[in-house]
Structure 1
Amino acid sequence: MRMPLVAALFALVIAGAGAVPAVAAPAPAPETVAAESAAAPVKDAAAPAIQAVNLAGTVALSNCSGSVVRFPNSLDTDPALVLSNGHCLSTGFPEPGEVLVNQASSRTFGLLNSAGTRVATLRASKLAYGTMTDTDVSIYQLTSTYATIKSSYGISALTVQNTHPTAGTAITVASGYWKTLYNCNIDGFVYRLEEGDWTWKDSVRYTSACQTIGGTSGSPVIDQSTGNVVAVNNTGNEDGGTCTVNNPCEVDASGNVTVRQGINYAQETYLIPACFTTGNQLNLSASGCTLPKP
């Protein structure tokens, strides 16, 4: 958002998709938001896991969650990438229509192992891509390769699936910020998800079991049957408002609006791999790349 105070409040809620952890002092700037005083969410065990999903490869940002990711054609020698949300950028929220590409960044990320123990600090060399238009995504290029991370810490990157996810799929939202796993299913897809000034296309709606909270934004949404990333967690309707900040609404192709209080959402990631070519470099002109362009 444009106003600093609103931006800070937005970072607490939309940077988590759901209830906001309590803080003892007034909300700080988005980049320094922390919620150490809040209790960590209770893991939801309602949905049986098809395969054991853990926290290996997830990362903690200063205000959000994320993950080290690769694409089906990435090489071990390529610079590694970190996936999170566009609204988690340290520079604040991109305006509607704004797309950031290949901007210098030295942002750091706490790399977690399967048990959620921080084993390393990874550093970005640049922000490869960031936007809140049509989707809500940020992708950082790291100074480390996949091979270096694997040999040094025994952790492999998560693979981003390059096909559309399927309704009913059992998923896990893996939060590096909270070191917590949320299990549920993909309930369906939303033609347009509107929140404040932003509109996101073909969003993932979770079943009610995934009660994600402040700090989980940017978490990878992992298909339990494949272990692949199918979306990135980003928001939820906090208190029943209609299309306002922290209260996204669903809009269908006919313009009908539906509000689902307490339901949380993610943005699909299957379009991203086509936009990264040789050497894991962003190429928005590549064949098949349909991500928003500057």
Structure 2
Amino acid sequence: MRNRLLFLGVVLTLPVIGTSAPPAQAIVGGTESAHAYSFMGSFQPSFPAPPRSDGHGCGVEVLAPQWVLTASHCAGKNPTGAKAGVPRGWKVRIGSLDTTSGGEVAEVDHYYRLANYQDGLWGQDLALMHLKTPVKAKPIRVASRTPEENTPVRMLGWGMTCAEMKPECFPTRLREADTVVQPLSVCPSASPSGELCVGSRDGSVSATNMDSGGPALVREGDDWALAGVVSTDGGAGAPALYTDVTKHAGWINGIISGTDVPPDDQIPNVEGAVGLSGCAGSVVRTPASQQDDPALLLTNGHCVEGQRPAPGAALVDQPADRQVQIADRQGYPQATARADRLLYATMTGTDAALYRLDKTYGQLEAEGAKVFRLATSPVRANDALSLAFTSRRFACTAEAVVPQLREGGYEQQDAIRYASSKDCAPWQGTSGSALLAEDGTTVVGIHNTHNVAGEPCTDDNPCEIGQDGGVTSVQGRAYGQQVHMIAGCVGDRSEVDLALPGCALTGATPRS
């Protein structure tokens, strides 16, 4: 699967669509622009914030006084991945050579994506963003037709000038390069239905990371026209791939003119979810927790940073340093804390980890953050569950409680198997999501795995072990883990004490 590298450089908890690899170098073969382009702009979202001090994430082009065009995956950095809606903290700087000063700055108050990750972005990686106030910049028009092979093209952008995420790799001055449209065969991963292969054949002149959304310009008469916007890399040593804007002129004109405007997506309530770099989590309190106790973050044992707990063992009281952003109803950060200690983690018996935060329950609640209650009773078959991920809530039902679940070298007891349905189909990356009771406030379990390939008992392919030793492995089956035993192992001041009477977590040695 192709890597979509030319984006903000910020990883969210969206569905995994490819593997990571180093981006290409620079607007390769480019030079600093000698003059500004009125229609060219820098997209600078405050959430998620790009990993550079100038705030630049993607390029945009002004198509009308209150409309700019960029790549869909740039506008896809909203918390829930919605195709259309109202963003928060997005702005553009238009008509300046520099990302930090000059030009016009406008707030983005609406966006419309042609496609999202689930639709497939190839050939339709476009998004329109509406500006709260008009800009005076002269717009650029969409090219009248798809440029033919060997058509001269100019590329613009503020993409990285080296592969490392370092300040010296982030140019604040606009760069440009002149190149040509290549045959699609030069970009092995190109989609023939709507992409352009732009750059030198060997990739020595090409777009790069954070050039996404930037333009491929062609001459029509005495003016520049927009033929494409940067989407992704075209393969190792190949030019970049641009979405052919000309093929979507109808969609663009329908929105800008107001004659065919898509409705906003309905945003699910994801209050309280925490994104953890490929996993999720939730802030929980036990029945005995006090307002001045340090808050606890619950996630999977396999979601800890560094070395995972070994089979049959647990990690106890270890240093940690993880940023924790607790989502509001729309997925934007309501409160922020740091996990400063890994109190406990195991993948045996259950798959769970508890982090201590640097804020108390009282402090988080004063900031309006959602704090969940930790259940003390197990999930039973037929219980209704809500799987609380960072971008949506899955409506699940506990189809069965599985006495023994095996995956790789790990075994868990009384795992929760979900009934198969279109409303309960978690993907890789949803691990650690809380399983909520019908009250929406009590965490009764934690999602941890699903069978990807149908293999028996291997990594990413959990299997059920029957009382007779028989193995059942069904592709697509998803499972969560019980958490009712955790509260009995948490003592004063949110400390995990495996010696407490009744503590039954892996590693427990209750005092007699």
TM-score of the two chains, using structure 2 as the length reference: 0.48
Change (3 A) 1:26 1:187: farther
Matching of residue 21 in structure 1 with residue 13 in structure 2? no
Change (3 A) 1:159 1:41: farther
CA distance in 2, matches of 1:157, 1:207: 27
> Is this contact kept in 1: 2:384–2:397, CA < 8 A?
yes
| 3-state SS of 1:106 partner | strand
Residue by residue over 1:231-256, the C-alpha shift from the partner in whole angstroms, topping out at 9 and shown as x without a partner, is 11000011111111111100022212
CA distance in 2, matches of 1:139, 1:41: 32
Equivalent of 1:241 in 455, 459, 462: 455
> Is this contact kept in 2: 1:170–1:225, CA < 8 A?
no
Equivalent of 2:490 in 266, 276, 280: 276
CA distance in 2, matches of 1:225, 1:121: 25
Give the structure 2 partner of residue 47 of structure 1: none
Give the structure 2 partner of residue 144 of structure 1: 359
| 3-state SS of 1:242 partner | coil
Question: What's the C-alpha RMSD, in Å, of the aligned pairs?
Answer: 2.4
Give the structure 2 partner of residue 46 of structure 1: none
Mapping of residues 124-143 of structure 1, within 5 Å: 124-143=339-358
The code of the aligned residue for 1:25 comes to S
CA distance in 2, matches of 1:102, 1:73: 20
Equivalent of 1:90 in 294, 302, 305: 305
My pick for the range that moved more, 61-70 or 117-126, is 117-126
Give the structure 2 partner of residue 161 of structure 1: 375
CA distance in 1, matches of 2:505, 2:19: 39
Aligned pair count?
257
Give the structure 2 partner of residue 12 of structure 1: none
CA distance in 2, matches of 1:140, 1:291: 16
Matching of residue 202 in structure 1 with residue 417 in structure 2? no
> Is this contact kept in 1: 2:382–2:400, CA < 8 A?
yes
**Displacement of 1:77 after TM fit?**
1.2
Give the structure 2 partner of residue 9 of structure 1: none
> Is this contact kept in 2: 1:166–1:186, CA < 8 A?
yes
Mapping of residues 207-218 of structure 1, within 5 Å: 207-209=419-421, 210-218=424-432
Equivalent of 2:504 in 274, 279, 290: 290
**Displacement of 1:40 after TM fit?**
6.2
**Displacement of 1:155 after TM fit?**
2.0
**Displacement of 1:24 after TM fit?**
5.3
Matching of residue 190 in structure 1 with residue 405 in structure 2? no
CA distance in 2, matches of 1:262, 1:74: 37
Change (3 A) 1:157 1:59: same
- Higher RCO (CA-CA < 8 Å; seq separation 6+): 1
> Is this contact kept in 2: 1:54–1:174, CA < 8 A?
no
Give the structure 2 partner of residue 67 of structure 1: 282
**Displacement of 1:159 after TM fit?**
0.5
Structure 1 unaligned segments of length 5 or more: list them.
Answer: 1-15, 28-34, 43-52
The code of the aligned residue for 2:385 comes to I
CA distance in 1, matches of 2:439, 2:359: 29
Residue by residue over 1:218-269, the C-alpha shift from the partner in whole angstroms, topping out at 9 and shown as x without a partner, is 0000011463111110000111111111111000222121112111001100
| 3-state SS of 1:108 partner | strand
Residue by residue over 1:23-65, the C-alpha shift from the partner in whole angstroms, topping out at 9 and shown as x without a partner, is 25359xxxxxxx98995679xxxxxxxxxx9422221112210
Change (3 A) 1:107 1:164: same
**Displacement of 1:126 after TM fit?**
0.4
Following superposition, which runs of at least 4 residues in structure 1 exceed 4 angstroms of deviation?
35-42
Residue by residue over 1:107-165, the C-alpha shift from the partner in whole angstroms, topping out at 9 and shown as x without a partner, is 1112101221123321012001011111111100000001001112x123100110111
Matching of residue 228 in structure 1 with residue 437 in structure 2? no
Matching of residue 58 in structure 1 with residue 273 in structure 2? yes
CA distance in 2, matches of 1:175, 1:292: 26
| 3-state SS of 2:321 partner | coil
Structure 2 unaligned segments of length 5 or more: list them.
Answer: 1-12, 23-72, 82-115, 120-267
Change (3 A) 1:132 1:143: same
> Is this contact kept in 1: 2:380–2:401, CA < 8 A?
no
Give the structure 1 partner of residue 481 of structure 2: 267
Matching of residue 118 in structure 1 with residue 333 in structure 2? yes
Residue by residue over 1:184-206, the C-alpha shift from the partner in whole angstroms, topping out at 9 and shown as x without a partner, is 21111111111111111110001
Matching of residue 251 in structure 1 with residue 489 in structure 2? no
Change (3 A) 1:113 1:40: farther
Change (3 A) 1:115 1:40: farther
> Is this contact kept in 1: 2:328–2:334, CA < 8 A?
yes
Instruction: State the identity %.
Output: 35
> Is this contact kept in 2: 1:146–1:156, CA < 8 A?
no
> Is this contact kept in 1: 2:335–2:364, CA < 8 A?
no
Matching of residue 219 in structure 1 with residue 433 in structure 2? yes
Which one has a bigger Cα radius of gyration? 2
